[in-house]
Amino acid sequence: MAKTAQLILDGKTYELPVVEGSEGERAIDISKLRATTGYITMDPGYANTGSCSSAITYIDGEEGILQYRGYPIETLAKNSTFLETAYLLLHGELPTGDELSKFTEHITYHSLLHEDFRHMYRAFPLRAHPMAVVSSLVGTLSTFYQDSLDPLDEQARQEHAYRIMAKLPTMCAWAYKYSVGHPFMFPKNRLSYSANLLHMMFGTPAEDYEVHPALSKAIDTLLILHADHEQNCSTSTMRIVGSSHANLYASASSAINALWGPLHGGANQAVIEMLQYINANEKSGRAFLERVKKDPDVRLMGFGHRVYKNYDPRAKVLKEMTRDVLEAVGTSNPLLDIAIEIEEMALSDDYFVQRKLYPNVDFYSGIIYQAMGIPVNMFTVFFALGRMPGWISQWMELHQDPASRIGRPRQIYVGENKREYVPIEKRG
Ligand code: CMC
């Protein structure tokens, strides 16, 4: 017999279905609760709310496990490429050699931007944050394909998925080029996804740019590590916007904006700014940690996670990668020493231990980006580049799921009760 949960309300007992996932996660299905009892549930921040069933990504936050389509993140980071991982997320299986070639061909085929995009960059102030530029331009893509935007058309969905994956590196690199007054570099389709990104960021028409293989490998790994993370803030945004049948570009543009916040993807920029501040002002991490513990408005950026109550497996891979990248570029970074010192202190400090606060994916990624010469305000853009296949896969899944409905949470109203309108001359 199917398992149920019993709810006793106002002396009446209700049976609620229990849903079980493939890794043994359990949920109480309350979808009929209001219809049968008149009650809703309250869950600020949705910490206990499952908004969908998904077969894409599995996280066990207590054990520090992350898997895409059943493959552990450590295995993919070591053996896969970003495009192969993107294929896995989008299609559910690892590609054969032939499937990967075709997929790569689709992605590279669409990598150019319409020439009108050049003018659009010029409409932004030079100092515009590239997340604002990129999110606007991704939304703008919908204006170029107005006849085929129906999210219920499977073939059109697929075509737009290729386009957005293909054009995003060009858009992001051009946002950087525009901000430094350099000419835009066209994509080179014979390069890998990550090498091409570096070429468009750092190449100039005046000189050939040799992409360092260790750096393009590091970018590829970073993109893999960021590629999906189930129902986080930006992915939930992607799904909720998509649930209104908004097109892929509108949904992705919204997800990019959700990612920008410092509590989410913007944390990688915030971590470097924090480490730079400590380096310039406090010199040691200890004094800063003491401030974090005393002042609720000061957070140790790159630490803590809604789901991980253990070491974030992505941070583990990144910590190991950091030294390799510094070695490849032949530099050292005092911020790395501060980060390692802070991590060691925090992991043995009662405040952080009791709250189960561990380094998350953003703690070390910024040090790697910085070593490669990627400007701080581009860090979150790289996060968005990595997350795009995850967002698209989740959006596709939403449209294939017969159970999906428009996302529309309820509320408990705590404002004024009905009252009489008083004309302005009588108010006092
Ligand atoms: N520094 C200091 N204290 C913290 C931190 C932190 N980074 N994170 C959580 N806490 C404390 C918090 O003050 C609270 O303490 P108390 O119980 O005494 O009030 C407790 O830990 C629980 O925190 P919370 O804010 O209720 O936890 P949450 O699940 O709502 O927030 C978080 C998760 C990621 C927003 C939060 O840990 C945070 O602000 N971290 C810093 C920002 C960051 O690194 N974000 C990147 C997250 S990973 C990548 C991504 O999602 O994009």
Output the residue whose Cα is nearest ligand 1's atom 4: 299
Q: Return the active site residues.
A: 305, 362
Span from the CA of 405 to the centroid of ligand 1 (angstroms) = 30
Decide: pTM greater than 0.75: yes
Rg for the chain (alpha carbons), in Å? 24
pLDDT digits (tens, 9 = 90+) for 379-407: 999 999 999 999 999 999 999 999 999 99
Q: Which of 250, 360, 369 is nearest to 321 (CA)?
A: 369
For position 4, what pLDDT does the model report? 96
Q: Is 302 in the pocket of ligand 1 (CB under 6 A)?
A: yes
Span from the CA of 364 to the centroid of ligand 1 (angstroms) = 17
Distance between CA 206 and CA 406 in Å, rounded?
51
pLDDT digits (tens, 9 = 90+) for 323-357: 889 888 888 888 888 999 999 999 999 999 999 99
Q: Is 18 in the pocket of ligand 1 (CB under 6 A)?
A: no
For position 275, what pLDDT does the model report? 94
Q: Is 248 in the pocket of ligand 1 (CB under 6 A)?
A: no
What sign has the CA pseudo-torsion 133, 137, 139, 143? positive
Q: Is 232 in the pocket of ligand 1 (CB under 6 A)?
A: yes
Q: Is 303 in the pocket of ligand 1 (CB under 6 A)?
A: yes
Which ligand 1 atom sits nearest the alpha carbon of residue 45?
30
Q: Which of 72, 325, 302, 132 is nearest to 220 (CA)?
A: 325
Span from the CA of 158 to the centroid of ligand 1 (angstroms) = 36
pLDDT digits (tens, 9 = 90+) for 61-117: 999 999 999 999 999 999 999 999 999 999 999 999 999 999 999 999 999 999 999
Inter-residue contact 39 to 33 (CB < 8 Å): yes
User: What proportion of the chain, given as a percentage, has pLDDT over 90?
Assistant: 92
Q: Is 386 in the pocket of ligand 1 (CB under 6 A)?
A: no
Span from the CA of 305 to the centroid of ligand 1 (angstroms) = 6
Inter-residue contact 313 to 74 (CB < 8 Å): yes
For position 332, what pLDDT does the model report? 82
pLDDT digits (tens, 9 = 90+) for 38-65: 999 999 999 999 999 999 999 999 999 9
